[in-house]
Every structure is written in structure tokens, then in C-alpha cells.
Amino acid sequence: MSSLSGDKYLLNPTPDAMPKTADVVVIGGGPTGAAAVWAMERARPGLKAILIEREERLGAGSSLASLENYRTCWPNIPIMKQMQRSVAVLHDADIYLGEGAAQSIHLKEQGYLFLAMGESHAETLKKDVARLHDIGLSHIEYLDAGEVGRRYPALRDVVVAAKWDPTAGWMDSNALIHAFVRAAPNARVLLGVTSTQIRTQGGRVVGVRTPLGDIDAPVVILAAGAWAPLIARESGIALPIILRPRQSFTTGYRHASFGSDWPMLIGEPPAPHVRPEAGEGAIFGWEYHWHSKWAPELEPNPEHDAVREPSDALNRLKDPRFPSLTLALMARQFKHGEGEGFNDPRYLRGLYHNIGYYVYRDETAAYTVQPDGTRLSYESERAIICPHPDVPGLILSVAHVGHGVMTSPAAGELAAAYALGLPLPDPDYAAFSLDVPYVDYDAPVL
């Protein structure tokens, strides 16, 4: 079947309709692949870029399960800068992405409120704020119990302190992906093209191979999220990344004292979080502990309790107890009694349970070196955005962990800089390379 929807989009193309050459091919039509296309067009107008997406629509990966949030309170310098740049783009979407983009991405800047229900976590939040001030994020506030109660009377008897990020909120991630692509008038988008492989000759990239034909291109950007290791492996290339399934759910109900103008609320560790969503509803998430033993066929990585490859049956990995456990955890932290607040049974009616992947650096790409020379691996928040060290012409934009939507503008600009041989947008972005195994404050912070 072949259907042509204008010159830009080719849906399920026939071999005859396939383009044969490009300046750059991007594999993966999620937020980071789309952003790379946008950034390349800005850097080099008229560039012939081709974006290949295996599904029949863009944004068919982890962004589907995302809470679509953004925040500026990152203690790690490279991510903090990535986020500052991305917020500048999101705040001025009409300028950067074209007229109408601001309306379509529908940014709601309602803030993030990290809550402490006890003194020990209050101390942690206070230290976090001190660090954030040290690196220039003076807009982040530490709120004591009185100030939290003044701003949010419903939290008065529950919360002893909070960290407040006012330059934070959420957006429509799918609209953002489409805005990126719309802002690249010379790019072409191939939808429904599966099984793309990276072609190399003499060790360097010469294009891609698809079942519908080859496309010659000197540069390929691999931005296929959790599926990137499969594509790389098919092409004989190893990627040092791991994946962990991560769930979220949306409800059609929200209790009355949790208003539509409220910020994103993040509870004490293990940090269950929730924000208002679509009128009367809410969207929830937390890093519910994942056990690789639940899916032994996915080549568990025991060091990280993660998996190495995505599952075709991702939905099977949803734990049906996840929504009720999250609500129970929230209710306990917020001291909601039977039937009250997050304990209201209406939350469990008609909810929509979702799952995607957090993609991380593995133990070969994120580690510290001990005094005796041994390597100690750790969980890193840093994406990998750099040329592949062994395959000239291959640019990686992967491992965006839990912030690939919010940092996509800057991630796109960095991938574009590497693809086009331009200077880095910021010298600190060198930390997104594979050969930088450790950066201060580079551990999960939500």
C-alpha cells in the first residue's frame, strides 16, 4: 500500500516513492529525532534531511507514556544548561518553531513542588536548593511549613517544607514533535518504514538500508529511544545503554482540593508524583521498582536491574497493581483517610494505565574510578548525544532517561551540531559524550 500525503510526509511508501539520497538521515520520530531535524534546518536552511519513523505516526515511543513535564531545577551543570536552552525555545515557541507553535504545545507553567513530610527530607531539600543557588538557579525557593501552608492551605498539616521550581510545568509533547517537523520545511518524513539498518562501508556510514530500498547519506542520527540498541545491533554496532520499563496512569477524576491551577506535586522518596491533567483529571507516576526477573527473556542487566532490549509485548510488563499502589502511597504521605483525597475510589474508575522505557547509560558509560582503580557504576541522568567513537558518520542521540521531552530542543541542537560539523552550542555539552563517564550531581534527582 502506498499513500502520499503531500511532499513532506510519505506514509507507507512504495519502493519507487522512496528518496534515494539525503544529507542526513534521522532514525526515530520521537521528540529527540524530530528536534534534530528542526535544529539542522535552523543551522543549515535547505538541508536535505530525512526522518524515518517505523510506526505510521510520529511520537510512537516513550513519549506516549510521558508525563510531558519540564522543570529547571537540575543540579547537574550540563543538564541544567540543556534545560535552560530548551525552556528558552519552549517559552518563545512561535519564534523558534513558527507561528502557532506556542498555542499548539500549550505550555502550562504551573511549577513543581517537591514536598517534605518529615525533617530529614526537609534537610535534603534545603541542601538541594543551596546547590541550585550555587549554580545560579536563584529562582528556586526553599519554602518552610508556614509558607507552604500560606500558598497551599490544603497542605498545611501535612508538609514541613518544600522546594519550589516556578519555571516548570507541562506541555503537549505530541504537538511539540509535530511543531519541530513543521518548522523544517525541507525535511521529508517517512512513516511506516520498518527494519531500517545503518549501512557502513570501510567502517564509516554511507546511509541506511530499508526493505523499500537504500538511502545514501554521509550522516545518520540514531534517535530511536529504547529501540536504538536493536537497530545498532542489526548493523553490527554495540550501544552502551540499558532500559527500564516505567509506568504512568491518567485518571478522569481529581479531588476538589487539588485544583486545576496546582503545580506538579512530588512526594517524599520514592517520590510518587502527580499533576492536574485535562480539566477534571490527573496524571501520576513514580519509579516503581523494576525487577528484571519479571522478564528474563529481555536479557536482564543485573548490575542495574534493567534490560538490554525492548519487548514487543511492552504492555505485558504493566503491573496492574501500579495505579492502586501509587494512590495508596500518595494517600499515606498526604495523610488522607478512608475515601478522602487520593484515597477516593473515584480515582480508580476509568483510569488509563501507560508504560514506556527510561533509557540509561550502562555501566561502561557511567562510572566512577575508585582509588584502587576499580570502576563503580552508577545510574546517570546524562543522555548520550555524540558521534559514535568507532563509526564515523553515526551520531547518537539516546539515553534521554526521564527528560527527553523537556530537553529535546537543546538535544536536537547538539545532535545537529555534531551532524553538521559545527561547534558545540555550549562547551559543557561535551559531557554528553560517551567518553565522559562521570559528572558531578549526575544521579537521579526525582
Ligand X SMILES: Cc1cc2nc3c(=O)[nH]c(=O)nc-3n(C[C@H](O)[C@H](O)[C@H](O)COP(=O)(O)OP(=O)(O)OC[C@H]3O[C@@H](n4cnc5c(N)ncnc54)[C@H](O)[C@@H]3O)c2cc1C
Can you give the binding site for ligand X, defined by CB under 6 A?
Answer: 27-33, 52-55, 59-63, 65-69, 196, 223-227, 231, 246-248, 285, 356-358, 400, 402-406
Cα 278 from Cα 265, distance rounded (Å) = 16
Q: What is the dihedral of CA 30, 33, 39, 42, to 10 degrees?
A: -90
Pick between residue 10 and residue 67 the one whose CB is nearest to ligand X.
67
Q: How far is the CB of 98 from ligand X (least distance, A)?
A: 20
Contact 37, 26 (CB under 8 A): yes
Angle 43-49-54 from CA coordinates, rounded to 5°: 130
The nearest distance, CB 357 to ligand X, in angstroms, is 6
How far is the C-alpha of 210 from the C-alpha of 199, rounded, in Å?
Answer: 10
150-181 b/e (C-beta count within 10 Å ≥ 16 → b): eebebbeebbbbbbbbbbbbbbbbbbbbbbbb
When the beta carbons of 276 and 285 are compared against ligand X, the nearer one is 285
Instruction: Return all residues near 98 (Cβ < 8 A) that are at least 6 apart.
Output: 179, 182, 183
Nearer to ligand X, 78 or 402 (CB): 402
Smallest separation (angstroms) from ligand X to the CB of 283: 9
Place of cell 537540575: 74
Closest to ligand X by CB, 52 or 161: 52
- Backbone φ/ψ region at 275: left (φ over 0), alpha (ψ -120 to 50), beta: beta
CB of 427 to ligand X, least distance (A): 24
Q: Which is nearer to ligand X, 224 or 331 (CB)?
A: 224
Q: How far is the CB of 129 from ligand X (least distance, A)?
A: 21
- Residue whose CB is less far from ligand X, 39 or 223: 223
Report the nearest approach of ligand X to the CB of residue 200 (Å). 17
Tell me which residue of 428, 398, 424 sits closest to 32, measured CA to CA.
398
